[in-house]
Each structure stands twice: as C-alpha cells, then as structure tokens.
C-alpha cells in the first residue's frame, strides 16, 4: 500500500547457528529493531517467526506474506508461504488482528492530539481497516489478501470492527494452527544450517 510519502519497512529473517542452540549458548527466537527517519528494519530469528506464525500474529503474517521481496535464500520463503496457505488460515489470527486494530483506534483516533489530526486520522483509519479486511478475508476462507482501503473514517472503523466480530462468530475455518508442519520446517532448516547446506 505504498505511496510517495511512505517510509520503508523491512522485515528480515536470520538463523542462529544450530551448534549454538545445541550447546546452550543461544536459544534462537530473538528480535532486533533498527530505525531511522526513512527506514525501519525489524530482524527476527527464524524460530521466533515460526512461533509467531503458529500463534497467528498479524505482524508476522504480513511480514512473511509480503509480495515485495528484496532477497531470499533459495526457496525457503516460498516454502514457508506455502505452509501458511495450506495450514495457517485459522482463527488463531483473530485476537492479534482485533487487538492491533482496537489499540490503534484508541491511540490514533480517540486519543489523537496531533496538529495534523484530520490527515493522521484518515491515514490511520485506512491502515486499521486494511488490517481488519485482511482478517475478514481469512476468516471467510478467502485466503490471505492485501486489499487497499481509501478515505476511511472513524465510523468506518467501528463498522469494520463490528463486521470483524460477526465474521469471527460465523467463521468455519479451524480454530487453531496445527504447529507440526511449521515445527518440521524449522527442524529441517536447523539441520541444514548445522550441515552447512544453507
């Protein structure tokens, strides 16, 4: 959903050496953030990404499923996306999506004190409703879809929140994500790293 004034958000993955995990020197599962005026880089160890995808964390779903890929190692990202499409479309994402949407609604709309309040509110309403629409599509069994929203208002957000809640109740998709395929994927990566195949 980039526009000419967008900053650049990078979501990156790294892997801790498996020997460090086996020796107890490192447990993996870490995260790092690096921010500047125009660039926001978030780096996560692959174990952390896998755990958060199993939980349905919206930030990790969006980061992993992004259609803009700057670089990837071999086919691993494609394999992970395939796992998400096959096993990750569950209600596990509902709390993360609603929590993010509602906290942003409170922070940026109800409690907004900015000088550019109207412009900021429209931007935040667009972002909130894009997130809710993403969740509604998943809950309706329509897959992971990134769809734009324009000129959204606080009233549109409250309507979308209500629609999201109703969609959760009516949804027929599985309640939880089966962790096994994701754990198997992670185990394979750890073994490949240990054997120098990554």
> What are residue 118's phi and psi, to 5 degrees?
-65, -45
Q: Give the C-alpha separation, 36 to 9, whole Å.
A: 10
Mean pLDDT of 181-192: 97
Would you say residue 3 has pLDDT above 80?
A: no
Global model pTM greater than 0.85: yes
Mean confidence (pLDDT) of the chain: 92
Per-residue confidence band for 35, with pLDDT thresholds at 50, 70 and 90: confident
Q: What is the DSSP letter of 10?
A: E
Q: Topology of 8-88+180-194 in CATH?
A: Beta Polymerase; domain 2 (3.30.460)
Per-domain boundaries in the chain: 8-88+180-194, 91-170
């Amino acid at each position: 959903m980039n526009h000419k004034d967008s900053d650049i958000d990078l979501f990156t993955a790294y892997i801790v050496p498996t020997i460090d995990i086996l020796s107890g020197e490192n447990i993996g599962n870490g995260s790092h953030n690096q921010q500047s005026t125009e660039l926001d880089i978030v780096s996560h160890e692959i174990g952390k990404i896998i755990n958060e995808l199993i939980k349905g964390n919206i930030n990790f779903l969006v980061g992993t499923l992004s259609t803009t890929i700057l670089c990837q190692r071999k086919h691993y990202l494609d394999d992970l996306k395939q796992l998400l499409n096959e096993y990750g479309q569950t209600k596990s994402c509902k709390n993360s999506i609603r929590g993010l949407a509602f906290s942003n609604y409170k922070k940026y709309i109800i409690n907004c004190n900015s000088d550019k309040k109207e412009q900021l509110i429209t931007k935040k309403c667009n972002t909130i409703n894009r997130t809710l629409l993403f969740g509604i599509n998943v809950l309706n069994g329509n897959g992971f879809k990134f769809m734009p929203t324009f000129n959204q208002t606080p009233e549109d957000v409250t309507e979308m929140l209500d629609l999201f809640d109703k969609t959760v109740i009516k949804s027929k998709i599985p309640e939880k994500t089966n962790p096994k395929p994701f754990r198997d994927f992670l185990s394979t990566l750890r073994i490949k790293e240990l054997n120098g195949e990554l």
